[in-house]
């Protein structure tokens, strides 16, 4: 039962008042408080992000003051000696992410096609559920499994086989200890599969069904209809999905730290141990020696932040492009 | 007009799951003619059309029974590959659906490339665009994206695309309903020319259009074929009461 | 002319390939789950859940403090993260159509992609530096920051899903707008929001990286927010990378405990979703 004040207020209101929407809700104290609270909460989000960026910058300041981000291209990382060349980490991040994308995108597109077009409809919910489960497993558990299952597998079976068949490539040479870029890349691929696969599935769903029908009506097989009509249309979105996966791979810390070997070096071979930006932060931050060391690590964090920002924005733009699409019929 | 029978439908039923959409349809379409399929919304006309090129069965849960005979050959017989049959029975849809990532030329050639066509693609493209009365408008910009055309032009492009694989029958599902009157008139004119070489079945909710373009008309109501015959007869002197009520506008 | 047989064969081959891709994706999952369960179960006992970690070589020991630590870290994180996240989501749904709203939404979206370790650095800078020590609060702050963007987006979506007619009916009855939002709209969206919250908690419980230099770790029981705290995830990490076989065993068992925790939360979330979809309070 509305309080008397409200009834009185309504009696005073002119007869043809439209239903109060948020735009015309002024006049009631509770509404004002509520509105202000909401705006404050929204603003708090902006504030928080602002604080994050500023704080990151502040911690990184000692290192940035010494010559900006140039330390990114120096090769020598030796905190004790005071040199903070971060190139090995950048290299490691790039290489492992590249391996992850190369492995994950075809598998994800295949899965997405299975889920949206080619697979029997009855299996689809099962596969969806499995993808969600993949996404729910914590990173450290992937690392544990990677350390004791993937690494021995690579060391004892996969890497020797690769060395035998493709050993003429510099990518597949050198001692096979299991830990290294390949192990990290494989783990990353598994971990970003849910992201890339689910976004790709969504993108495929936004392709207008009339395109598929048009292709089929011309006498195309199911795969030909996909190749001719659906994939070309969805391509920007699939690229977006890949970028989102890349963004996730870049920031992935624990699983990589546990299998990459933690060697701040640059090697051409995928079998070699390496390091990545998040991994070095994870390993060294807690016991960093001095503000400069901390600053350098935080500077690496800043780089990660910037990369993630760029990748995510671009990715979302691409996905939205496909969904909206200026492909509407005139 | 009384040519040999190109398409014969015998006791066709169609369902979406348990929903019985078409009942016992028996119909004949002579070669080189236009048959109009008319009826109120939801009477099953589009479903009927899609049974003729076996697109109906692509919908999950859809099923059908009965026979559809093209030149005497049952399209639903075991061993008939729908992919092949759809080259002989082409379809143009209600909303133009050219492939947006392809050029005008590539759209027309799309169906041909499926079969690994060897020969001069450009000649075929020109021929089909002429048949679809679109050549003069696009001949200077064949590489332009298909989406740069107007709605009416896109629909004619889709017709050209369908013609490129040299079908025998052309199915048209309300091809002009999304177009303006000028574009519609062009499509209707096209049908007069096309029927020399092709057999056309057109679904339309526009009775005047049916009267203008078709030689024979079939009237569907609630999943049943009520009456089929020469267009003139259907519109001026139908046998069934329901037909008369519909064509005189008593319901629709 | 390309024979139909060839085209058909290609079609089948592609279908098989897609199926193979699914297998490639699912096989690691199967292997992981199988191993965590089979290896972890061996070390499980009541004392594993309740005891403190023992030094290398000593039998027994458990992750009791780590379980408590994770619970407290996540609990503290919820104190800040839930109101802020849900509140921001309601803001975006109710008032988020203007330029300010768009800015907030864009920020939240992009912010959700920031690596968790970077958030850890921020929490370090704000709390650890100020307090001059690693603490539970620092870890909780990092987790809270991680929760906010996803919660905000999910809440916004859910609140927008509530039919406008419900809102109008309430307003027409004279219920003030703010009460309408709180009582009617939120109550309708509550089931979905609960799901989102449970998922956020599950994700927070599984985080490791930001905790490494905020809440650090602790070999003993700790309930003081201003002290370093053990957590399941950090403990698993430490056990796994150690050179000791019996600690590796403990890593598997602790991982099993973590998966049970995360799994139950996800299951609850799914149930909450089903309840809210089916129930539908008027």
CA C238 from chain centre, in angstroms, equals 21
Residues of chain B contacting C2 with CB distance shorter than 8 Å = 114-116
Chain A contact probe: residue of C4, C77, C113, C268 with most A CBs at under 10 A: C113
The shortest CB-CB distance from A38 to any of C91, C108, C236 is to: C91
The pLDDT, as a whole number, for residue A134 is: 93
CATH of the domain at A316: 1.10.3720.10
CB pairs under 8 A between A and C: 283
CA neighbor of A134 nearest in space, from C239, C192, C31, C113: C31
> Cβ B97–A208 below 8 Å, yes or no?
yes
ipTM of the complex: 0.92
Q: How far is CA B113 from CA A106, A201, B161, B198, in A?
A: 25, 27, 11, 22
- Please give the structure tokens belonging to residue A227: 């190749």
Q: B115 touching C, CB under 8 A?
A: yes
Q: B99 touching A, CB under 8 A?
A: yes
> Cβ A219–B84 below 8 Å, yes or no?
yes
- Count of beta carbons in the 10 Å neighbourhood of residue A77: 20
Angle at C121 between CA C115 and CA C122, to 5 degrees: 95
Q: Is residue A229 part of a domain?
A: yes
Please give the full DSSP string across B215-243, using - where no structure is assigned: SEEEEEETTEEEEEEEHHHHHHS-SSHHH
Q: Is residue A59 part of a domain?
A: no
> Cβ B115–C1 below 8 Å, yes or no?
yes
C-contacting chains (≥3 CB pairs under 8 Å):
A, B
The pLDDT, as a whole number, for residue C278 is: 66
- Can you give the pLDDT of all 282 residues of chain C as single tens digits? 567 888 999 999 999 999 999 999 999 999 999 999 999 998 888 889 888 988 888 888 889 999 999 999 999 999 999 999 998 998 898 888 888 888 888 888 878 889 999 999 999 999 998 899 999 999 999 999 999 999 999 999 888 888 888 888 888 888 887 888 888 777 888 888 999 999 999 999 999 999 999 999 998 999 999 999 999 999 999 999 999 998 999 999 999 999 999 999 999 998 888 877 665 544
CA neighbor of B125 nearest in space, from B115, B137, B112: B112
Could you tell me the pLDDT band of residue A209, with boundaries at 50, 70 and 90? Answer: very high
Nearest-Cα distance to chain C for A328, in Å, is 25
What is the four-CA torsion angle of B161, B162, B167, B169, rounded to 10 degrees? -150
The secondary structure element, H or E, covering residue B10 is strand B5-16
The pLDDT, as a whole number, for residue C279 is: 59
> Cβ A229–B55 below 8 Å, yes or no?
no
Summarised one tens digit per residue, pLDDT across range C256-276 is 999 999 999 999 998 888 877
Q: What is the DSSP letter of A235?
A: H
Angle at A250 between CA A244 and CA A253, to 5 degrees: 125
Nearest-Cα distance to chain B for C5, in Å, is 11
The pLDDT, as a whole number, for residue A327 is: 52
Summarised one tens digit per residue, pLDDT across range C191-239 is 889 999 999 999 999 999 999 999 999 989 999 999 999 999 999 999 9
Question: In chain A, pLDDT over 70 holds for what percent of residues?
Answer: 90
The pLDDT, as a whole number, for residue C1 is: 52
CA neighbor of B229 nearest in space, from B33, B50, B42: B33
The pLDDT, as a whole number, for residue A29 is: 77
**Domain residue limits at A147:** 69-324
> Cβ C145–A56 below 8 Å, yes or no?
no
Nearest-Cα distance to chain A for B204, in Å, is 19
The full set of domain ranges for chain C reads 4-41, 64-231
Element counts in chain C: helices (H) and strands (E): 12, 0
- Please give the structure tokens belonging to residue C203: 């994700």
> Cβ C233–A140 below 8 Å, yes or no?
yes
Q: A232 touching B, CB under 8 A?
A: yes
> Cβ B116–C2 below 8 Å, yes or no?
yes
Mean pLDDT in residue range A246-271: 92
Residues of chain B contacting A216 with CB distance shorter than 8 Å = 55, 58, 86
Sort residue B31 into left (φ over 0), alpha (ψ -120 to 50) or beta. beta
Summarised one tens digit per residue, pLDDT across range A277-330 is 999 999 999 888 888 888 889 989 988 998 888 888 888 888 888 777 645 333
- Domains of chain B, CATH where assigned: 5-247 (3.40.50.300)
Nearest-Cα distance to chain B for C97, in Å, is 32
Residues of chain A contacting C171 with CB distance shorter than 8 Å = 19-21
Q: Which residues have CB under 8 Å from C96's CB, separation 6+?
A: A42, C102, C104, C105, C156
Q: Evaluate if residue A24 carries a pLDDT over 60.
A: no
Rg of the Cα atoms in chain A: 26
- Can you give the pLDDT of all 252 residues of chain B as single tens digits? 456 999 999 999 999 988 999 999 999 999 999 999 999 988 889 999 999 999 999 988 899 999 999 998 999 988 899 999 999 999 999 999 999 999 999 999 999 988 778 888 899 999 999 999 899 999 999 999 999 999 999 999 999 999 999 999 999 999 988 888 988 998 899 998 998 899 999 999 888 899 999 999 999 999 999 999 999 999 999 999 989 989 888 876
Residues of chain B contacting C8 with CB distance shorter than 8 Å = 81, 83
CA neighbor of C141 nearest in space, from C210, C201, C83: C210
Enumerate the H helices of chain B as residue ranges: 45-52, 82-88, 104-114, 121-131, 135-138, 151-164, 181-194, 207-213, 231-236, 241-247
Summarised one tens digit per residue, pLDDT across range A178-205 is 999 999 999 999 999 999 999 999 999 9
Q: Is residue A154 part of a domain?
A: yes
Q: A133 touching C, CB under 8 A?
A: yes
Q: Higher pLDDT residue, A21 or B215?
A: B215
Domain C64-231 CATH class label: mainly alpha
> Cβ A56–C121 below 8 Å, yes or no?
yes
Could you tell me the pLDDT band of residue A13, with boundaries at 50, 70 and 90? Answer: very low
> Cβ C2–B114 below 8 Å, yes or no?
yes
**Sheet containing B5-16: order of strands:** B73-74, B62-70, B5-16, B19-30, B224-230, B216-221, B34-38, B199-203, B169-173, B89-92
Q: Is residue A46 part of a domain?
A: no
Number of structural domains chain A divides into: 1
Q: Evaluate if residue A235 carries a pLDDT over 70.
A: yes
The pLDDT, as a whole number, for residue C3 is: 78
Q: Which residues have CB under 8 Å from C269's CB, separation 6+?
A: C194, C195, C196, C198, C199, C202
CB A285 within 8 A of CB A189: no
Q: What is the DSSP letter of C185?
A: I
By C-alpha distance, the chain B residue nearest A222 is: B83
């Amino acid at each position: 039962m509305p309080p008397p004040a409200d009834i009185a207020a309504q009696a005073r209101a002119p007869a043809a008042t439209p239903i109060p929407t948020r735009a015309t809700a002024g006049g009631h104290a509770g509404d004002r408080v509520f509105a202000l609270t909401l705006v404050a909460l929204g603003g708090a989000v902006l504030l928080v992000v602002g604080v994050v960026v500023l704080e990151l910058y502040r911690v990184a300041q000692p290192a940035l003051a010494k010559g900006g981000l140039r330390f990114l291209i120096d090769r020598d990382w030796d905190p004790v000696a005071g040199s903070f060349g971060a190139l090995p980490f950048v290299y490691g991040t790039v290489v492992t992410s590249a391996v992850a994308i190369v492995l994950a995108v075809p598998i994800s597109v295949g899965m997405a096609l299975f889920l949206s077009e080619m697979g029997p409809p009855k299996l689809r919910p099962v596969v969806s559920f499995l993808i969600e489960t993949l996404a729910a497993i914590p990173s450290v558990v992937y690392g544990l499994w990677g350390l004791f299952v993937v690494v021995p597998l690579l060391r004892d079976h996969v890497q020797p086989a690769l060395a035998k068949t493709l050993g003429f490539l510099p990518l597949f040479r050198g001692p096979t200890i299991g830990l290294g870029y390949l192990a990290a890349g494989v783990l990353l691929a598994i971990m970003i599969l849910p992201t890339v696969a689910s976004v790709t599935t969504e993108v495929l769903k936004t392709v207008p069904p009339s395109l598929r029908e048009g292709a089929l009506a011309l006498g195309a097989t199911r795969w030909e209809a996909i190749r001719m009509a659906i994939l070309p249309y969805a391509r920007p979105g699939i690229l977006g999905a890949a970028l989102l996966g890349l963004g996730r791979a870049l920031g992935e810390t624990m699983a990589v730290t546990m299998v990459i070997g933690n060697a701040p070096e640059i090697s051409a071979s995928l079998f070699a141990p390496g390091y990545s930006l998040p991994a070095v932060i994870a390993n060294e931050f807690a016991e960093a020696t001095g503000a400069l060391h901390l600053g350098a690590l935080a500077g690496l964090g800043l780089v990660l932040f910037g990369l993630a920002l760029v990748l995510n924005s671009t990715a979302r733009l691409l996905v939205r492009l496909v969904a909206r699409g200026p492909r509407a019929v005139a | 007009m009384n040519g040999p029978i190109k398409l014969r439908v015998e006791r066709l039923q169609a369902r979406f799951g348990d929903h019985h959409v078409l009942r016992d349809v028996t119909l004949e379409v002579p070669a080189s003619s236009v048959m109009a399929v008319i009826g109120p919304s939801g009477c099953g006309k589009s479903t009927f059309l899609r049974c003729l090129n076996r697109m109906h069965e692509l919908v999950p849960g859809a099923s059908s029974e009965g026979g559809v005979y093209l030149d005497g050959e049952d399209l639903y017989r075991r061993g008939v590959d729908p992919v092949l049959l759809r080259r002989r029975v082409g379809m143009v849809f209600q909303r133009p659906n050219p492939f947006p990532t392809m050029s005008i030329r590539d759209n027309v050639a799309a169906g041909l490339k499926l079969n690994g066509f060897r020969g001069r693609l450009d000649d075929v493209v020109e021929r089909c665009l002429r048949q679809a009365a679109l050549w003069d408008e696009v001949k200077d910009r064949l590489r332009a994206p298909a989406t740069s055309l107007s709605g009416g032009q896109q629909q004619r492009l889709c017709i050209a695309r369908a013609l490129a694989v040299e079908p025998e029958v052309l199915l048209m599902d309300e091809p002009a309903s999304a177009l303006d009157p000028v574009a519609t008139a062009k499509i209707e004119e096209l049908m007069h020319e096309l029927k020399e070489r092709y057999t056309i079945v057109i679904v339309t909710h526009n009775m005047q259009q049916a009267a203008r373009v078709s030689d024979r008309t079939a009237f569907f109501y609630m999943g049943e074929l009520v009456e089929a015959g020469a267009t003139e007869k259907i519109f001026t002197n139908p046998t069934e009461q329901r037909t008369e009520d519909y064509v005189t506008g008593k319901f629709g | 002319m390309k024979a139909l047989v060839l085209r058909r064969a290609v079609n089948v081959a592609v279908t098989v390939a897609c199926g193979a891709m699914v297998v490639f994706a699912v096989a690691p999952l199967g292997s992981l789950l199988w191993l965590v369960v089979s290896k972890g179960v061996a070390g499980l006992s009541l004392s594993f859940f309740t005891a403190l970690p023992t030094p290398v070589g000593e039998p027994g020991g458990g992750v009791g403090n780590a379980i408590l630590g994770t619970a407290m870290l996540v609990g503290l994180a919820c104190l800040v993260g839930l109101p802020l996240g849900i509140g921001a989501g309601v803001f975006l749904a109710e008032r988020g159509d203007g330029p300010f709203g768009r800015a907030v939404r864009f920020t939240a979206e992009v912010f959700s992609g920031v690596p968790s370790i970077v958030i850890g650095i921020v929490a370090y800078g704000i709390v650890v530096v100020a307090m001059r020590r690693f603490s539970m609060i620092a870890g909780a702050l990092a987790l809270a920051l991680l929760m906010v963007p996803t919660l905000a987006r999910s809440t916004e979506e859910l609140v927008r899903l509530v039919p406008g007619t419900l809102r109008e009916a309430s307003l027409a009855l004279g219920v003030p707008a703010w009460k309408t939002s709180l009582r009617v709209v939120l109550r309708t969206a509550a089931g979905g929001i609960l799901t989102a919250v449970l998922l956020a908690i599950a994700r927070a419980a599984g985080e490791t990286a930001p905790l490494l230099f905020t809440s650090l770790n602790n070999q003993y029981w700790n309930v003081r927010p201003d002290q370093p705290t053990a957590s399941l995830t950090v403990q698993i990490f430490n056990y796994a990378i150690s050179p000791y076989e019996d600690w590796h065993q403990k890593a598997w068992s602790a991982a099993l405990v973590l998966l049970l925790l995360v799994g139950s939360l996800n299951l609850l979330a799914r149930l909450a979703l089903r309840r809210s979809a089916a129930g539908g309070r008027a």
